[in-house]
A = this chain, B = another copy of it.
């Protein structure tokens, strides 16, 4: 079901990076939710977010009325004997927050992960002070399985804890 204003989700093509990069920069530059260096340059950001064929990583885009407003990646959380657990990450433009795009995007990627045979999903670095994200994940059936003290250098709050969050798929 899709209304005119709804976001659509697709696998990203390499040329979509031009549309993803402004969102990535916007999200990362605040230094309060993602570990990526806030001043990361475009070439490094592209390598980190888009990956390559060798990494078993898939990148997705979210569009509203054809404009890229977010992106996600999906990959094995670990190699070999632990590669049945997926890792994923999302970025959504601040201009599109509060419309439920992040939640639907998350459900979209979780479905993709199930189809690929992943049996669970794990996030390794959910900043504990990012209470909106923690609440979103808990509402989607995830739970905190671990907490690492002083693991994130929050731009305004200093050293804050990071949660490891997990759910079966």
Q: What residues of B have a CB within 8 angstroms of the CB of A31 in the complex?
A: 81
| A117 proximal to B (CB < 8 A) | no
| A73 proximal to B (CB < 8 A) | no
Q: How far is the CA of A138 from the CA of B123 in the complex (A)?
A: 25
Q: How far is the CA of A150 from the CA of B81 in the complex (A)?
A: 11
- From the candidates B35, B48, B79, B145, name the one contacting A81 in the complex (CB within 8 A): B35
Closest-CB distance, A24 to chain B (whole angstroms) = 13
> Do the beta carbons of A124 and B78 come within 8 Å of each other?
yes
Write the A110-143 contact mask toward B (1 if CB under 8 angstroms, else 0): 0000000001101011000000000000000000
> Do the beta carbons of A38 and B81 come within 8 Å of each other?
yes
> Do the beta carbons of B37 and A80 come within 8 Å of each other?
yes
| A154 proximal to B (CB < 8 A) | yes
| A148 proximal to B (CB < 8 A) | yes
- From the candidates B48, B147, B155, B166, name the one contacting A145 in the complex (CB within 8 A): B147
Closest-CB distance, A135 to chain B (whole angstroms) = 19
Write the A13-28 contact mask toward B (1 if CB under 8 angstroms, else 0): 0000000000000000
> Do the beta carbons of B81 and A154 come within 8 Å of each other?
yes
Q: How far is the CA of A125 from the CA of B37 in the complex (A)?
A: 25
CB neighbors of B among A99-114 (8 A):
none
> Do the beta carbons of A148 and B146 come within 8 Å of each other?
yes
CB neighbors of B among A29-70 (8 A):
31, 34-38, 40, 48
**A to B CB contacts below 8 Å, 13 in the list:** A35-B79, A35-B82, A36-B80, A78-B124, A78-B125, A81-B155, A82-B151, A82-B162, A122-B148, A122-B151, A145-B146, A148-B164, A164-B164
